[in-house]
Chain A
Amino acid sequence: GAGVSQSPSNKVTEKGKDVELRCDPISGHTALYWYRQSLGQGLEFLIYFQGNSAPDKSGLPSDRFSAERTGGSVSTLTIQRTQQEDSAVYLCASSLAGNEQYFGPGTRLTVT
């Protein structure tokens, strides 16, 4: 079956521009997560959606970052006024319940 997909796979943008990253979770998965992995670092939690509940935004690093999940399925992570320190691989994961999360291939964002 189809796994988690993300688009684009790579994005190069100029400092100060806005970017949108998309995640299509596994069909039927109620939970959706965004992480980022900076060069040489581990996975940093950003935001978590569970069903119709209010999202857990505790990991978002600044108010330039926001995310939506429409219809309980597709999610978009938006970074406004990008900075060079935003360069990272942004990973999306989904899960049905419990602890096992299924990850997408990630979007590599480079801010020049």
Chain B
Amino acid sequence: DQQVKQNSPSLSVQEGRISILNCDYTNSMFDYFLWYKKYPAEGPTFLISISSIKDKNEDGRFTVFLNKSAKHLSLHIVPSQPGDSAVYFCAGYKAAGNKLTFGGGTRVLVKP
């Protein structure tokens, strides 16, 4: 039972263009959604989060959009840079239980 799904395993984008990463969830009880970025041989690092009561959160080049009716969130990276090449995981967080549930990840390649 995958509560959080990232249906695109990979994404390739030209430097300077927009990267859009998508994530769908089935559990309406998540309190927050988070995006993590992972480089090879390193642990995931926190990127940006959004409360379930919000529909948008922006931090520099990164914006997360939440569509609760569609149970869908997306991460926009504008402009994309070669250093953004990594695997991105979305995750849902439930305060009750204090746990994260991760999607399968999307590998992003930003071409110079």
Contacts and interface: CB of A to CB of B under 8 A. Distances in A.
Sorted from nearest, which 3 A-B pairs have the closest CB atoms? A103-B43, A42-B104, A99-B93
A25 interface: no
A60 to B, nearest CB: 14
B32 A43 contact: no
Given A45-B101, A48-B99, A56-B99, A99 B42 contact: no
- Interface size class of chain B, counting residues whose CB lies under 8 Å from the partner chain: 20 to 34
B25 interface: no
Nearest to B9: A40
A91 B105 CA distance: 15
Contacts of B6: 42
A56 B101 CA distance: 14
B45 A103 contact: yes
Contacts of B89: 42-43
B43 A106 contact: yes
Contact of A99 (B32, B43, B103, B105): B32
Interface in A43-63: 43-45, 48, 50, 56
